[in-house]
């Protein structure tokens, strides 16, 4: 596995410091993930049509717990919890913050593969991306949806409307 560049390490530390300095920013990650607030979504390409603000979110396709699922019966969005993203697969090396930001903004995986145009391309300020990364890490520690031996966990929308 190639070593991380010094620039990526520095960017990662700066993001961590920014989150530590601003607890409110860390909370914005949940709004970004659940409602797309603070990100601009474009249809399928970097220069695609701009989609309505707040109408497309990570959770809308990948689930409130980030573990993927089905969208419309024919699509299977992959898991995007941080544990899944940072694990290498036969198709790609692990993601880091820079690689995941590239996926969101350009639709390119760490192996250089361009993903489906069905996934919107998202643009946002570095602070928003840092908050989203922090939220994805928090998903790993959060209670998961599904059946367990002694419980059932479900995710409900923030607002029934």
Q: What is the pLDDT of residues 86-121, one digit of tens each?
A: 999 998 999 999 999 999 999 999 999 999 988 999
Tens digits of residue pLDDT in 50-75: 988 888 889 888 888 888 876 556 67
CB 30 within 8 A of CB 135: yes
Residue 39 above 80 pLDDT?
A: yes
The residue extents of the domains of the chain are 6-153
What pLDDT score was predicted for residue 158?
56
What pLDDT score was predicted for residue 25?
43
Q: How many CA atoms lie within 13 A of 69 on its CB side?
A: 15
Please give the helix or strand (H or E) that residue 31 lies within, else none: helix 23-35
Query: Which pair of tokens denotes residue 85?
Result: 């993203």
For the entire predicted model, the pTM comes to 0.68
């Amino acid at each position: 596995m190639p070593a991380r560049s010094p620039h990526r390490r520095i960017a990662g530390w700066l993001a961590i410091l920014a989150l530590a300095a601003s607890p409110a920013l860390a909370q914005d990650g949940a709004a970004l993930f659940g409602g797309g607030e603070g990100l601009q979504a474009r249809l399928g390409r970097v220069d695609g049509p701009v989609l309505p603000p707040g109408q497309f979110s990570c959770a809308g396709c990948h689930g409130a717990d980030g573990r993927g699922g089905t969208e419309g019966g024919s699509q299977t969005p992959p898991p995007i919890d941080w544990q899944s993203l940072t694990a290498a697969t036969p198709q790609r090396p692990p993601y880091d913050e820079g690689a995941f930001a590239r996926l969101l903004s350009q639709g390119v995986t760490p192996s250089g593969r361009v993903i489906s145009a069905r996934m919107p391309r998202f643009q946002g300020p570095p602070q928003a991306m840092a908050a989203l990364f922090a939220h994805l890490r928090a998903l790993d520690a959060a209670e998961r949806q599904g059946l367990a031996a002694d419980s059932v966990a479900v995710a409900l929308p923030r607002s029934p409307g």
